[in-house]
Chain A
Amino acid sequence: MVRTKELDFPELAGLFQRMTGDEKHTWAAASTLHVLWVLYDRVLNVSPERVDDPDRDRFLLSKGHGPMAFYAVLVAKGFLEPEVLDTWTEFGSPLGQHPDRVLVPGVEISSGSLGHGLALGVGIALGLRAMGRARPRVVVLVGDGELDEGSNHEAIALAGRLGLGQLTVAVIDNGSATHGWPGGIAERFAVEGWQTATVDGRDDEALHRAFITEHAGRPLAVVAAIRQETT
């Protein structure tokens, strides 16, 4: 399953096209693209050889809708063969419109219904803590619209109070929440005791700096702001 040569960022376009048949460049508009790339290329301590290593980092795609960028990055990093992309959403394919951890190696959670990944991430962080595994990070990707689900706010408050320093949330903020978040999304996390950073969601360097910010004893929220007009 594992290839020796990893693919680079520009090659994601071709991988996208294998799923969507898209001849244009709408792949680049995928709001999660840069966050996923920076995480898998420079931040997460994961590899196809270590999908069951208890000390691996965990990436949880809570916002399971629109997983093409996720699948493309998994292919680029050797978790999946590119050929499997051609079967996307077919019966019998491991790849659907929402990812299933039972079907795809390297996919940590099955998602699709919004508002589940954060509590699962809190549970994983608590499990790692209970086992004395202080090194692995747990990174959960959510969308700003997804934060409408109240279940997130149960988990945000709990993670802050428990000081889960191993937990990081990446919030893709493309302004899709119907009623918005007055005062900004980061403030929702800050008042619960999280360390926060708000950066340009297409600026790889800024995202990288945000993800490696020291945040000992507190969970970290990185709000990746996506301005649609810059696509």
Chain B
Amino acid sequence: MAETGSDNTSSRTDGTVRVKRGLAEMLKGGVIMDVVTPEQAKVAEDAGATAVMALERVPADIRRDGGVARMSDPEMIEGIKEVVTIPVMAKARIGHFVEAQILQALGVDYVDESEVLTPADEAHHIDKFAFAVPFVCGATNLGEALRRISEGACMIRSKGEAGTGNVVEAVRHLRSIIGDIRRITQSDEAELFQWAKSLQAPLPLIQEIAETGKLQVPLFCAGGLATPADAALAMQLGAEAVFVGSGIFKSNDPAPRAKAIVEATTNFEDAEILAKVSRGLGAPMTGIDMDDIDVRLSERGW
């Protein structure tokens, strides 16, 4: 009773690593959806999205249109922030720390330093510790994930191949990251030095994984997911949540598909529910085979 702090002169600290990673923890088990208009953002929230990614063009259109893809217009991001109550994320170009500064000033909840946009720096990623807003970064393998974490990323998403509607690359990247985590936990001390060298990743992070068996930050999956089954596949492979980009709003009937993907992500191990929610969703986005694409977005990032 006497302990109750009514006159808490509180030691409030914001922007800590725990606070930044904490929001990623809250998004686990959910679906983050790409949206390009406030109307789409409402559809996403109504379907049960845990967050929306506000961008000007979905990756399928960026791929089709070509040219330089940049941070979205602040007006468009603000329009989306106004209509939804869930967190709003937005993308900055790799290495473009000023776009990130602008996104932080706009009050977005998470910045995605994304290979889907045209990179601004071919050697350096953003120093993400310099920001109060948390960052998510893509990775194709564990080394890339750990380099991003060492720069301050608070969430990792496997890259997949955005805008293709083809899950094959997402599976490859998830298996690579999670497989190497498993192998590291079986390694002895001397082998950890070799892991650090071969993955080009900081040794202390490798040693930490050997001990905990887990990535330091939540691991989500992105890039090419188009169906409820794709989302459940990513979750069963070990992803902790999913991003769906073009897969929803490039399909014939986005709202029911968005809902179905949300339910599939929650019930990813229940085949009965997966069968039920997969019914009658109309045509998914057409999708592209990997042999037919000119630009591999996942190769961007260093």
- Chains A and B are bound partners: no
